[in-house]
DNA sequence: CATGAATGAGAATTCATTCAT
DNA sequence: AATGAATGAATTCTCATTCAT
């Protein structure tokens, strides 16, 4: 058996339990003891893997964010045209938020509350660089609106989170047609 | 002395303290004792005004949401053209989020975490109806894209929250030009 | 209107409320505020009639005890024969416990817990003297067993409390026949 | 080390502390913190052994009641004559109330106040059945008065509690002669 | 006399973290 | 590494009592 495998399994179990419980109850309403129980380990064991509760969420945040950005750039390469590249990335992100609902909802909770602090959040953002590069290239080519990348993000990527939240709450169904429709809106809002 | 004045002042102080502390620390990391201290009353006094901690946030949420929607429809009336009406509402919302940063951030925290529950959130939404009516009128006139109101909201209104968050974190400055720019993007994403 | 009447009505209402609430919840689970509400007065008003909560129960105890002993000696006079006298007193006590269930249950609670303290309890006992005198006369006449008055009380009077408790809990019905039967047992246990 | 020893010792210490403190102060005037301190454990530890304060008293009540009934039937067997059987049980009960004063007083407090509720009390009663059986046998043999078992209990067993209370308060001394005397009274009150 | 808002000490309970095993 | 009993500080909430009106 792989040296790390057994402990990696426990670590993974702890992370999954944290995501599920924080999603349902919020960070501070999630006791370490419940996380331990759901992960099938003892309370003290958590502290072999994580320094303390804050370190636990921080690491969960960073790992989920990394998984998210990795997913976002699947099948993307810098040789693609700006439009094709954006479509690829946008749909990856949409697919992630649809398929990995728990992870996505966890991220949205961390991004909208003070449970992880600024430095950690900054660290989580660094992997999004290729999208910013793509936008800059598009702006140089006159394809993308010459506005701040924050605006581009706000109007093309951020809306996906809202649609996911609504679907999560059961008030809205994100069908494939809705996704295509939404992609068109995203693209129209940033293209020139 | 005005009948309500003294107790209304305390109630207001409690609500303000709640907003500020929850914004900075999160709901569960905000003890009632701190809220009381910041509001300048004793711990027990909170319970003269609110049933318990949950009731306190619920009421704060509903009041802030009401203030927000009331702000959103300033100077708006149903005789306006669809485009003019939308511009009015959109800019009101942007102004609210810029001026009443604390309130806006509090709402975004409640809307993205399980601290207020679905029934309360539903109640908070009811005042947004005039915007939905405007969109429907626009769709009938062929001015607005025929997509779900959730999509319209996601791509035109929701992005403002992101820009506000970024400004809140100091990584971005929402100047009047930025706002005009953002309004244009919002309008282009939903107009036909 | 009689000078004291209005305040006496309130005092009475407070005493009645105390009895009812302490019976149902116990002394320490009965807040002054609830007593006030049930008595139809404001919380502060209690302190115009009683020094504090302890003083309130003490006074309720003493008054109910006085009512009890007064009831116990109805139609009794020292010229009666020992047997007739005992029957009169015993049946008065039984009648009181049957009719004034609330008062009787309150007394039994006070007599079996530390809610009123020894001096007050002693004070409450002083009115029972005629019964002790009767017993002593009976002993001198050779009619009553020559045992401690505590034993006489334990076997002839105290059992009534048990029967009342059982009736109170609904597991037993004290019919007139039961009472006669019980009286016979009481008398047989103390007579020579 | 014995599997149960360490935690059983703590559990026992908590139960003993509860009895002593409730006896002296009453249930609601006994804070969990004091129980913990007297038992030599930390406040939080109580909740490892008992769900909450109510569960604690309930369990103490049931255990003490079980100890009481077990004590009551020492050296008793169903082959004994009715009179001998009753004497055995009665004197056991008297001995228990004399020797285990704390336990006995605790029971009398629970039996006369609303601190444990009816279902728990019912559960505590189930072990008294052999005495009821004995009485029924005695009634069939014409030895025991044909009255409700509640009456038999009220006049033969319940009085012991009163004598114990008086001794507890120091106003009365239960010497062996007093006990014999009391037993005679008990027996005479129920025999035919 | 009467009110009832306000107080603040104190209660029950929870939970992050430690540490002996 | 892993456990889980134990801790005790912190939290929510209650309630006897006071006092300005």
> What's the pLDDT score for residue C66?
93
pLDDT tens per residue, range D105-159: 999 889 888 899 888 988 888 888 999 999 999 999 999 999 999 999 999 999 9
Protein CA D50 to sugar C1' E20 (Å): 23
Task: Please report residues of D whose CB lies closer than 8 A to that of C27.
Answer: 26, 28
Task: Please report residues of A whose CB lies closer than 8 A to that of B165.
Answer: 111-112
The answer to whether strand E lies under 7 Å from the CB of residue A53 is yes
Q: According to CATH, where is 1.10.357.10 located in chain A?
A: 60-190
pLDDT tens per residue, range A121-136: 888 878 889 999 999 9
Q: Check pLDDT > 50 for residue B3.
A: no
**Distance of residue B15 Cα from the nearest chain A Cα, in angstroms:** 19
Q: According to CATH, where is 1.10.10.60 located in chain C?
A: 1-50
Which residues 6-45 on chain A approach chain B with CB closer than 8 angstroms? 23-29
> What's the pLDDT score for residue A4?
60
CATH class belonging to A60-190: mainly alpha
DSSP chain B: --TTHHHHHHHHHHHHHHHHHHHHH-STT--HHHHHHHHTS-GGGHHHH-SSHHHHHHHHHHHHHHHHHHHHTTT--TTS-HHHHHHHHHHHHHHHHHHSHHHHHHHHHHHTSTTS-HHHHHHHHGGGHHHHHHHHHHHHTT-B-SS-HHHHHHHHTHHHHHHHHHHHTTS----HHHHHHHHHHHHHHHB-
**CATH number of the domain at C58-190, please?**
1.10.357.10
Average pLDDT over residues B89-97: 95
Cross-chain Cβ contact D112/C153 below 8 Å:
no
Chain F: nucleotides below 7 Å from protein CB are: 1-20
> What's the pLDDT score for residue C3?
52
Cross-chain Cβ contact B154/A26 below 8 Å:
no
Inter-axis angle of helices C176-190 and C82-99, nearest 10: 140
Residue in chain A closest to B160 (alpha carbons) equals A154
Grade residue B4 by pLDDT with cuts at 50, 70 and 90.
Answer: low
Task: List residues, Cβ < 7 Å, touching strand F.
Answer: A 6-7, 10, 41-45, 47-48; B 29-33, 43-44, 47, 52-54; C 28-33, 43-44, 46-47, 52-54; D 6-7, 10, 41-45, 48
Which range has the top average pLDDT, A167-171, C93-97, D168-172? C93-97
D50: nearest nucleotide, CA–C1' criterion:
E13
The answer to whether strand E lies under 7 Å from the CB of residue D47 is yes
Cross-chain Cβ contact C150/D163 below 8 Å:
yes
Q: What are the Cα distances from residue A100, in Å, to C35, C40, C82?
A: 56, 59, 91
pLDDT tens per residue, range C25-53: 988 899 999 999 999 999 999 999 999 99
CA distance C23 to D107: 18
> What's the pLDDT score for residue D170?
80
Q: According to CATH, where is 1.10.357.10 located in chain D?
A: 57-190
DSSP chain C: --TTHHHHHHHHHHHHHHHHHHHHH-STTS-HHHHHHHHTS-GGGHHHH-SSHHHHHHHHHHHHHHHHHHHHTTT--TTS-HHHHHHHHHHHHHHHHHHSHHHHHHHHHHHTSTTS-HHHHHHHHGGGHHHHHHHHHHHHTT-B-SS-HHHHHHHHTHHHHHHHHHHHTTS----HHHHHHHHHHHHHHHB-
Grade residue D3 by pLDDT with cuts at 50, 70 and 90.
Answer: very low
Q: Which two tokens stand for residue B13?
A: 């102080």
**CATH number of the domain at B54-190, please?**
1.10.357.10
pLDDT tens per residue, range B164-185: 888 887 888 888 889 999 999 9
A50: nearest nucleotide, CA–C1' criterion:
E17
Cross-chain Cβ contact A181/B155 below 8 Å:
no
DSSP A44: G
D45: nearest nucleotide, CA–C1' criterion:
F6
Grade residue D2 by pLDDT with cuts at 50, 70 and 90.
Answer: very low
CA distance D188 to D192: 8
DSSP A135: H
CATH class belonging to D57-190: mainly alpha
CB contact set of A45 (below 8 Å; sequence gap of 6+) = A10, A36
C55: nearest nucleotide, CA–C1' criterion:
F16
**Distance of residue D59 Cα from the nearest chain C Cα, in angstroms:** 19
Cross-chain Cβ contact A165/B114 below 8 Å:
no
Please tell me which of the candidates A161, A166, A181 has its beta carbon nearest to residue B147: A181
Question: Does chain B reach chain A with at least 3 CB pairs under 8 Å?
Answer: yes
The answer to whether strand E lies under 7 Å from the CB of residue A37 is no
**CATH number of the domain at D1-50, please?**
1.10.10.60
DSSP D4: T
Q: Check pLDDT > 80 for residue A95.
A: yes
Strand partners, A144: A191
Question: Does chain A reach chain D with at least 3 CB pairs under 8 Å?
Answer: no
């Amino acid at each position: 058996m792989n040296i790390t495998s057994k402990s990696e399994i426990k670590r993974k179990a702890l992370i999954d339990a944290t995501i599920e419980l924080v999603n349902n109850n919020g960070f501070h309403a999630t006791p370490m003891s419940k996380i331990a129980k759901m992960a099938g380990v003892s309370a003290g064991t958590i502290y072999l893997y994580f320094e303390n509760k804050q370190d636990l969420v921080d690491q969960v945040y960073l790992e989920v964010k990394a998984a998210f950005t990795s997913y976002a750039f699947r099948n993307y390469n810098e040789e693609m045209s700006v439009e094709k590249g954006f479509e690829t990335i946008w749909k990856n992100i949409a697919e992630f938020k649809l398929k990995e609902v728990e992870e996505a909802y966890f991220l949205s909770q961390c991004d909208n509350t003070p449970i992880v602090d600024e430095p950690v959040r900054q660290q989580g953002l660094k992997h999004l660089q290729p999208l910013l590069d793509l936008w800059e290239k598009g702006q140089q080519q006159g394809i993308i609106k010459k506005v701040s990348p924050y605006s581009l993000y706000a109007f093309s990527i951020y809306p996906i989170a809202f649609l996911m939240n609504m679907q999560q709450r059961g008030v809205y169904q994100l069908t494939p047609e809705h996704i295509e429709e939404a992609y068109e809106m995203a693209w129209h809002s940033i293209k020139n």
